[in-house]
Structure 1
Amino acid sequence: MSDKRACALSRAATWIDVLELQKHPEGGWYREIYRASEQIPVSGLPSRFDGERAFCTSIYFLLAGDEFSALHRIRQDELWHFYDGDGLTVHVITPDGVYSEKKLGRNPERGDSLMHVVETGHWFGASVSADGFALVGCTVAPGFDFADFELPSGDELLALYPHHEALIRRLTR
């Protein structure tokens, strides 16, 4: 194992311990850190929601080494905020099949941004370099509920977007 990889994995392990992160179903590590106490009634939400939601929620999310956030989508916009590490790539496929990626990190000279918004209904996942890690925050409004979370198989996404086969095979389980 390279010194850089060992250092990154050690720093990631420290954050996992200090922030009391747990495994996330899409991959990586997370912990909810904020859930608004007030709720939006279902009558005040778009029809894609089946119940009330908190005004807003926020989590810590960490990826390290070969870990990835599998392609998924939710019914809300999701804001990604960079905190620490070597940077992260958010991979996005729009409903009409257009692919883009956004680099989060602290190096604007390399095209990094501190924040990125994934719009409602877009498929998205994330990855880090094999020798790195990234600690980010994700904020969702209206608040996140696992009822709003879709984690498709690779075959399901390939049926929709066969032209993105390499990405789909890399970022699905």
Structure 2
Amino acid sequence: MPHAELTQDDWIRSLELQPHPEGGWYREVYRSAESIPHPALPRRFTGARQFATSIYYLLGPGDFSALHRIRQDEIWHFYDGSRLVVQVIHPNGSTEELLLGRDLARGERPMAVVPAGSWFGARVADGDGYALMGCTVAPGFDFEDFELPTRAELIELFPQHGELIETLTR
């Protein structure tokens, strides 16, 4: 028997998702018990970090993940819903668009990586759809590694990407 189509609210309720500071909904589902000592990490880290962390992340209609960056690579996994577009501004100012979804013929992939130190944000490509994702970070995520700049700060850094920045900042 086929399963019923789940709605955005079904996912939020059943996975116990909470509002995320960058937009959307999330819940941490994994944080390794072991950690990497601070001296063993690159200088950009301010302390020890768990080996890895993972969250569920959901964006709904009209919502977006605001441009932000972290000090680690972030691996995005597509689970359900509509195609997701992750916009990346690399430290050198070049941009990249990552398409996550199931339609391989349209360039979508079930997994993509945002490199450490890149600014990135996301939105659902289908205006009235939602996208359920997973995000894995190694070394593990710590809010100490999270930067959420203002629109003005990003436009000052990357004036050539003003339109993209306007779209993915609040």
TM-score by length of 1: 0.94
Distance 2:9 2:167 in 1: 24
AA aligned to 2:105 is E
Distance 2:84 2:76 in 1: 10
1:91 corresponds, among 74, 87, 93, to 87
Distance 2:163 2:7 in 1: 30
Aligned position for 1:171: 168
SS at 1:83 equivalent: strand
Structure number with the higher helix fraction is 1
| Structure 2, unpaired ranges of 5+ | none
Aligned position for 1:152: 149
1:110 corresponds, among 106, 110, 113, to 106
Aligned position for 1:140: 137
Distance 2:28 2:81 in 1: 20
**Percent sequence identity over matched residues?**
61
Distance 1:53 1:91 in 2: 26
Q: CA RMSD in A?
A: 1.0
Q: Which runs of 4+ in 1 moved over 3 A?
A: none
| Structure 1, unpaired ranges of 5+ | 1-7
TM-score by length of 2: 0.95
SS at 1:150 equivalent: coil
SS at 1:109 equivalent: helix
